[in-house]
Amino acid sequence: MPATSTPSGGAPRVLGHPSRDAIRLEDVLHALADPVRLGIVLVLDEAEGECSCSVFDAPVSKSTLTHHFRVLREHGVITQAYRGTAKMNALRRDDLEDLFPGLLDTVLTAARRQAAAGLGAGASAAATGRA
């Protein structure tokens, strides 16, 4: 829905999401393979609903965060929608569950388990995310 005008250099108010059939396993895996994005998905999962972009404590700049959200969206992991100045994010649970049953849950559980293990083990290199 083109709100007012569609200026040549403006940020599009309409966000393109891949259709369910266009979601590929490799893409989802790739999207989830990044520590920052995995963290985002983890938060989104616990939020169980929508979430603004700026409630994440990721150690990256705003631009980078935008980039990660875009990757997540373009790979079919999340949905994004504008709401005033904020942008709400939500997991595509149904689509993901339908395409890859149990995948999201399993990965998220594994991520939490690893995070817990890492915290208890005095994670030094684990916290950085880079190996």
Q: Which stretch binds DNA (CB under 7 A): 17-25, 28-36, 93-101, 104-112?
A: 28-36
Min separation Cβ 45 and a copy of itself, Å: 15
d(CA 62, CA 38): 17
Provide the 10 A C-beta neighbour count for residue 44: 23
**Binding mask of the shown chain, residues 84 to 103, with x at each position contacting DNA by CB under 7 A:** xxxx----------------
Tell which residue, 91, 88, 15, has the closest CA to residue 46: 91
User: What, of DNA, a copy of itself, none, does residue 29 touch, CB below 5 to 8 Å by kind?
Assistant: a copy of itself
Among 10, 49, 120, 122, the residue binding DNA under the rule CB under 7 A is 10
Contact 31, 65 (CB under 8 A): no
Q: How many CB atoms lie within 10 A of CB 99?
A: 17
Which partner, DNA, a copy of itself, none, binds residue 101 by CB below 5 to 8 Å per kind? Answer: a copy of itself
